[in-house]
Structure 1
Amino acid sequence: MSILTEKFTTKYNSAPFNQIKNEDYLPAFKELIHSSEEEINAIVNNPNEPDFENTIEALAFSGEQLDRASSIFFNLNSAETSDELQQIAQEVSPILTEYSSKISQNKALFQKIKKVYDQKDSYNLNEEQQMLLNETYKGFVRSGALLNEEDKEKLQKINMDLSLKSLQFGQNVLASTNNYFKHITNKADLAGIPEAILEQFAEEAKERNLDGWVITLQYPSYIPFMTYAENRELRKEIALANGKKSFQNDEFDNQKLIVDILKLKQEKAALLGFKNYADYVLEERMAKSPTKVLDFLNELLTKAKPFADKEIEELKSLAKNDGIEEMQSYDHAFYAEKLRKAKYDLNDEELKPYFPLNQVQEAVFGLSHKLFGLSFEEQKDIPKYHDDVKVYEVFEDEKNSGEKTFKALLYVDYFPRKGKRAGAWMTSYKNQYQKDGENSRPHISIVCNFSKPTKDTPSLLTFQEVTTLFHEFGHALHGMLANTQYPNLSGTSVKWDFVELPSQFLENFCYEPEFLKTFAKHYKTGEVLPDEKIEKISQSKTFMEGYQTLRQIGFGLLDMNYHTKVEELESKNIKQFEDYYTKQTQLYPVNPETAMSPSFSHIFQGGYSAGYYSYKWAEVLDADAFGYFKETGIFNPETAAKFKVLLSSGGTKDPMDLYKNFRGSEPKVESLLKRAFGE
């Protein structure tokens, strides 16, 4: 008997991390799949006429313990993995994929669902129930329920292959990232790098039992090095290493995996009656079609390109002063930082003392209270999976009573480790739902990779890291404020191109002087960041906006073309394909030795396949939404209350309807162009 198969006895039914052993996972998954199958069989074998409650609702609440075990396992495989955990993932993934396929292709179950769906007008369903019924039926159809038996088997095999290959892709990127480090013993090679960063590099060396300094490809190491290192040859070397992740024809190379993954997705789409995988994905997105996505990206490209060209010309003139005739991509961060310093007198290392992690966290907690009535209390008794993790009880103020009600658990995990993948993300260990008169609250997690505190200095954030924390916290709010009936419509269970709205929206507050003054205080003296610096931060919001926009458009175009033109990989290799479809967005010479596709985890491991455009799509939404806050006052309680309804509604309504209910109109692309380029 595994701890994972029992109802947890912990406070708030939280994950019992301190009791789970690696050997628990495989037997637990097998047992939980069996018990979940019994729940499905009970629905199928129910002798009563199928109706919404005994079929659709029963299915929505089935497999809860299996979902909990899966979220625990796969979240740990991202945040605290090991060779053993990765090996278990290789065994577990096909089992879970097979189980999922068996449900979606269960003919008797689908017949019951279809019967309820065909008679939906005879039921008195509310809006959320109608959405659940529609999404359930559509989900089965999109999973192959209408296919013949032979094609169902083909689809099941494709899904299993995809789950394994996507998992392997991510493991290769992690291994390729961890395998590289640059050991430096001559301090002169590190000229230009601030002392606080050098201290971080020295700590890394010490952890490896080396003298001197070590730079890795983890972002808190790589980004500062590329930003400040005066040694151009070293910048080139380390940028080259980063650009060659999983692109070195070694055991961690992902080029063949990319082709395999794309071909499998194309096969899946064709089986289900779609022209390509992008058509299949976009049927369920706000954008609806590849044509609309490409039109959207190309419109932005046309608007942004002149601004991007102008920005790069400014950088090139700076580089010429240093005798650089042809600027390269590995020079960008270094000269962008120089230009930023010249234009705004802003320097990350000067700003960092004003943004200690604890203060920034308190600021986002305080903002959540001001806008949405949430408060946070650290809870030391909730089990956690690593000493770095902190857990907070989240409460909501009850209007007029002065009482507080429990709203969520929030786990925060801020520092890099060998077993943690790069980047930042929000995830969930338990969804919110309502059942048997109880509102079961969610357990949400934020995972980041910020610089660790040292013995003399707390963790100090760059301003970009401040916006990263706010971004992930926006996702967390979407999860924590969830207030829906069904777990599969709760929190971030929304259309994929809507999911980035809350996160990108919250970033806007970081640039508001009125708010910045409340928390940008020197960690030693308590001195508030001077007004002129705060004003400069506010002005710098659109710094290099053209460059950043083209970069994101390049990723979006590459993603969309991979998922609509896979047949071209017969005549083009990965590098050729990437260079061809991003050439309009390239602002520097392309290096023949590097390619970003083999480490493009968002689309080959994560959920952004044929969906990377959604970052820019959501920027239109967030620019428009924050424009409304600016019109009414950034802390306006009525506007915040309307946005809270949008956040708490999850996927219970069409996202455009949710947005229009909040804003009073559809979002306008002009809102983004005005914010980015003053147009």
Structure 2
Amino acid sequence: MQLRASTRVLPTRSSMLASIRQAAPRTSAGALLYRSVSQSVASGVRRYVFKGDGRKYARCYATATSSLPAEHIAFSTSADNVHDDALLREIFDSPKAWKAFSRKSFSGFGKRTGLFLYKYLTDPEAFPVFAERTLQRASILSDKIVAARTPAELRSVIKDFDRLSDMMCCVIDLSEFIRTAHPDPQFVEAAEQAYAIMYKFMNQLNTNVGLYQTLLRVFADKAISADLSEEERAVGMIFIRDFEKAGIHLSPKTRGRFVSLASEIDVLGRRFVTGAGANESVMKFDPKELYGLNPDWAREYMSRDKTSITIPARSTVAQLALQTVHSGDVRKKIYEAMNAGTAKQVDTLESMLRSRAELARLTGHEDYATMQLQDKMASRPASVLEFLESLAASNLPLAQKEQGILEKLKQEQLQLQVPSGLKAWDRDYYAVRYHQQQSRSAASLYGLRDYFSVGTVIQGLSRLFTQLYGIRFVPRETQQGETWHEDVRRLDVVCEKAGHVGLIYCDLFARKGKTKNPAHYTVRCSRRIDDDTPVEGEIPEYTGMATMKDPVTGQIYQLPTIALLCAFESDGRPGPTLLHFNDVKTLFHEMGHAMHTMLGRTSFQSVCGTRCATDFVELPSVLMEHFVSAPEVLKLCARHYKTDAPAPPKLIEAQNKMEKLLAASESQIQIVMSLLDQHLHSSIPLQSGFDSTAVLHGLEKQWGLYPPVPGTRWQTQMSHLAHYGGTYYSYIFDRAIASKVWKNVFASNPVDRSAGEKFRDEVLKWGGGRNPWTCIEGVLGAEGEGLGKGDSTAMEKVGSWGIELD
């Protein structure tokens, strides 16, 4: 997105919920080498039929009127939609069908290409070469920017900055993905080398005073500045803010202190994150004390003579003990050990916070949160606090009502005459009991998986997007070397009006050594390229990645490309991989990010799709979670993997009921975490006697569900304090907005084309090129009136909406 690392591995619904369980006081780039496009590319369709796995499958290949290789041309298709729809389900549910479909059996289409169609990346040795070649081209372009003086030269500066960023992202984003996902260590090592080469150069660009001063000249020239589009202005300001966050506008002496502080913060942040997962304390129990805990879970911790069990405080078995051990005294001991934190970890956190606060003051900001929020929807910490406190006030009664249910369970189990009140160590134990009590239909709910094969869900998503946006998924045979594993399926995203608009590489199945964390990776963003101006000395290069020509404007764009990673596991029985309901929500969430990228059609990659404000980026993905439970949508994607019968409504109703259990309590925990993040990144760390634990306990007293437990310091385990730094509220903020958009726009008819087009035209297509508040105001209509100002009143109004899924 910027000249900094642009890779954004977006947090998923499941990872955000996991963060609550792990950190809260409970246990439970626009990546393309420059190429000049001087002619329009027309494509047709050639259709082949072959037999495989007892069925017939069709493959569509692009043919072209230009001299470019056919596999390098933007793909468009007139193939029968029904055929593609059935094929989607087959290739995700049947490995044999996928193998047959993806067989390289036709002359001219079986030759080896590079990863993601980058023609050079056919082997590990190509990565450093790719980086060096990009570095040379980027150096030429950066020199051109620095030398810009005439009005004509200055007018192209923002475009050139975006191209420069595009070059950086090309290598950095791709390398970041490969070193995370590629199973071959040689590719991983090569990607690391390429990443290091470009990251070093990128840091040089971030401190290039000439680049910064050229940008300032663009905005200082009244004639040029007045002529900038909203999108150009947004892109230009992104780069100016990034330069200034790097301290480039400071005096040499002050900049030296800035660099020192930045380095210190980096070291402390990494040390804090490492320490957040480390707790070396152990607890020793008589096995009888752990009554209720499954013996198999604790077997490895049992002494040889079986007279004691020694449990590490930071272990899965400790978390399970909190959920199952009957003794409240034992649970208290476990809770206190798990959340104690060390004095060393507290010191690391508070040192990091003080350094951040000092760095913010050094750059002219009141505090670190203020510095972080200047380009976010919230814009200032006071607005965030107004949102969070408004939300906390409306959500707390709901959460307390839920806690009352758990308290009654405790009273009944202990046969107490009067309620004794819930303690922090009681919550998980009685929450499990409550869920068990409410899920008497657990066996039938397990059967719900039979209606959610991976292929059925992907097919349903394609059907949903066809109805909402007029786009669908078309399976595409991959070239040799195009993907990092044979399990990866390629989907071309095809629009009924614009043709091929993007590529999605789906790596959805678990395998040994693969990360289990779901993630959306942007390998390349959309960007207009037909108006690129070749730079003297630069050799245009063709990478092989696809482009599209807008049928209305005639403009040519590089196609967005993303990779979706999940780790869905088979239950071992024959047939397709079946998904739990939460897995389905995860896939819908990821596809929300994907649609943001696919439908964002901006002229600049720096503001395309998910490259937008942090507190806006989760809106499309969280909104997609609402669709999962809608009957109209379930008709599209919930069908039995054997009989094709639709899922019984009673099963869905029961599942939806289970999803909502204790939802307000989970939300209240996340609100407290967000408030803690804000307070710790205010100016408080610079005050004498700063105590992060006192700040935490004060918030727990005001907004928490349980009184603070003396001796506990769970803020030492909240690694998000290092990663988010004043922006942790973003996810819950987007949940509130998504809930409102769902109710106002989609709830009455979730498959309505006019509703989909409204959301696309007001939100998705803009990416970060339009004020997010304007987008929200536009999509909500009358109820959004006044939100466009983005002031404290707007933040407070969002807080009043609430956040629960309906």
Please state whether the residue corresponding to 1:409 is helix, strand or coil: strand
Taking the aligned partners of 2:147 and 2:805, their CA distance within structure 1 comes to 62
Matched, 1:475 2:569: no
The match for 1:155 is 258
Q: Is the 8 A contact 1:232 1:331 kept in 2?
A: no
Q: Equivalences for 1:7-156 in 2 at 5 Å?
A: 10=114, 13-14=117-118, 19-20=123-124, 33=135, 36-46=138-148, 48-49=150-151, 51-76=153-178, 99-122=201-224, 124-156=227-259
The match for 1:531 is 649
Q: Is the 8 A contact 1:345 1:536 kept in 2?
A: no
Please state whether the residue corresponding to 2:562 is helix, strand or coil: strand
- CA displacement at 1:284 relative to structure 2: 1.2
- CA displacement at 1:603 relative to structure 2: 3.6
- CA displacement at 1:6 relative to structure 2: 8.3
- CA displacement at 1:508 relative to structure 2: 0.6
TM-score computed with the length of structure 2 as normaliser = 0.67
| More helix by percentage | 1
Q: Which moved more, 1:492-501 or 1:521-530?
A: 521-530
TM-score computed with the length of structure 1 as normaliser = 0.79
Please state whether the residue corresponding to 2:164 is helix, strand or coil: coil
Taking the aligned partners of 1:354 and 1:99, their CA distance within structure 2 comes to 50
Equivalent of 2:730 in 595, 614, 620: 614
The match for 2:505 is 410
Aligned-pair Cα RMSD in Å: 4.8
Q: Which moved more, 1:449-458 or 1:562-571?
A: 449-458
Q: Is the 8 A contact 1:225 1:235 kept in 2?
A: no
What amino acid is the match of 1:390? V
Q: Is the 8 A contact 2:600 2:764 kept in 1?
A: yes
- CA displacement at 1:307 relative to structure 2: 1.4
Equivalent of 2:400 in 309, 318, 333: 309
- CA displacement at 1:308 relative to structure 2: 0.9
Taking the aligned partners of 1:42 and 1:167, their CA distance within structure 2 comes to 37
Equivalent of 1:369 in 466, 485, 488: 466
Matched, 1:628 2:744: yes
Please state whether the residue corresponding to 2:475 is helix, strand or coil: strand
Deviation digits for residues 227-260 of structure 1, max 9, x if unmatched?
9857779995998699569x568xxx85444334
Equivalent of 2:528 in 421, 427, 434: 434
Q: Is the 8 A contact 2:158 2:236 kept in 1?
A: yes
Matched, 1:499 2:617: yes
Taking the aligned partners of 2:644 and 2:382, their CA distance within structure 1 comes to 53
Deviation digits for residues 297-336 of structure 1, max 9, x if unmatched?
1111111112111101101222344339665556545543
Relative to 1, partners in 2 of residues 1:674 and 1:499: Cα closer, same or farther, differing over 3 Å?
closer
Please state whether the residue corresponding to 1:621 is helix, strand or coil: helix
Q: Structure 2: any 5+ residue segments left out of the alignment?
A: 1-30, 35-71, 73-112, 301-310, 531-554, 788-793
Please state whether the residue corresponding to 2:767 is helix, strand or coil: coil
Taking the aligned partners of 1:55 and 1:340, their CA distance within structure 2 comes to 59
Equivalent of 2:767 in 650, 657, 670: 650
Q: Structure 1: any 5+ residue segments left out of the alignment?
A: 205-214
Work out the number of aligned pairs and report it.
642
- CA displacement at 1:146 relative to structure 2: 2.6
What amino acid is the match of 1:435? I
Taking the aligned partners of 1:41 and 1:624, their CA distance within structure 2 comes to 48
Taking the aligned partners of 2:187 and 2:116, their CA distance within structure 1 comes to 26
The match for 1:262 is 353
What amino acid is the match of 1:360? V
Q: Equivalences for 1:482-521 in 2 at 5 Å?
A: 482-521=600-639
Q: Is the 8 A contact 1:50 1:112 kept in 2?
A: no
Give 1 or 2 for the bigger CA radius of gyration: 2
Relative to 1, partners in 2 of residues 1:552 and 1:78: Cα closer, same or farther, differing over 3 Å?
farther
Please state whether the residue corresponding to 2:611 is helix, strand or coil: coil
Deviation digits for residues 422-450 of structure 1, max 9, x if unmatched?
64432212222111253111222333455
Q: Is the 8 A contact 2:345 2:716 kept in 1?
A: yes
Deviation digits for residues 496-523 of structure 1, max 9, x if unmatched?
2111110111111122123224433455
- CA displacement at 1:655 relative to structure 2: 0.9
Taking the aligned partners of 1:89 and 1:275, their CA distance within structure 2 comes to 39
- CA displacement at 1:294 relative to structure 2: 0.9
What amino acid is the match of 2:385? L
Q: Which moved more, 1:340-349 or 1:115-124?
A: 340-349
The match for 1:381 is 479
Taking the aligned partners of 1:248 and 1:467, their CA distance within structure 2 comes to 37
Q: Is the 8 A contact 1:416 1:448 kept in 2?
A: no
Structure with greater contact order relative to length (CA < 8 Å, sep ≥ 6): 2
Q: Is the 8 A contact 2:474 2:493 kept in 1?
A: yes
Q: Equivalences for 1:247-396 in 2 at 5 Å?
A: 247=341, 255-323=346-414, 327=422, 329=424, 332-333=427-428, 335-340=430-435, 342-343=437-438, 347=442, 349=446, 351-372=448-469, 373-377=471-475, 379-381=477-479, 383=481, 387=485, 390-396=488-494
Deviation digits for residues 279-309 of structure 1, max 9, x if unmatched?
1112211112211111211111111112111
Please state whether the residue corresponding to 1:19 is helix, strand or coil: coil
The match for 1:209 is none
Q: Is the 8 A contact 2:372 2:726 kept in 1?
A: yes
What amino acid is the match of 1:363? G
Q: Equivalences for 1:95-244 in 2 at 5 Å?
A: 99-122=201-224, 124-167=227-270, 169-170=272-273, 176=278, 243=338
Taking the aligned partners of 2:317 and 2:122, their CA distance within structure 1 comes to 33
Q: Which moved more, 1:491-500 or 1:386-395?
A: 386-395
Q: Which moved more, 1:404-413 or 1:550-559?
A: 404-413
Relative to 1, partners in 2 of residues 1:80 and 1:162: Cα closer, same or farther, differing over 3 Å?
farther
Taking the aligned partners of 2:319 and 2:382, their CA distance within structure 1 comes to 39
Relative to 1, partners in 2 of residues 1:74 and 1:330: Cα closer, same or farther, differing over 3 Å?
farther
- CA displacement at 1:562 relative to structure 2: 1.3
Q: Is the 8 A contact 1:29 1:69 kept in 2?
A: yes
Taking the aligned partners of 1:235 and 1:525, their CA distance within structure 2 comes to 49
Equivalent of 1:661 in 775, 778, 782: 778
Taking the aligned partners of 1:615 and 1:591, their CA distance within structure 2 comes to 27
Please state whether the residue corresponding to 2:637 is helix, strand or coil: coil
- CA displacement at 1:548 relative to structure 2: 2.0
Taking the aligned partners of 2:413 and 2:632, their CA distance within structure 1 comes to 39
Matched, 1:549 2:667: yes
Taking the aligned partners of 1:235 and 1:380, their CA distance within structure 2 comes to 56
Q: Is the 8 A contact 1:285 1:497 kept in 2?
A: yes
Taking the aligned partners of 1:217 and 1:456, their CA distance within structure 2 comes to 39
Q: Which moved more, 1:616-625 or 1:338-347?
A: 338-347
Taking the aligned partners of 2:631 and 2:436, their CA distance within structure 1 comes to 19
Identity score, percent = 20
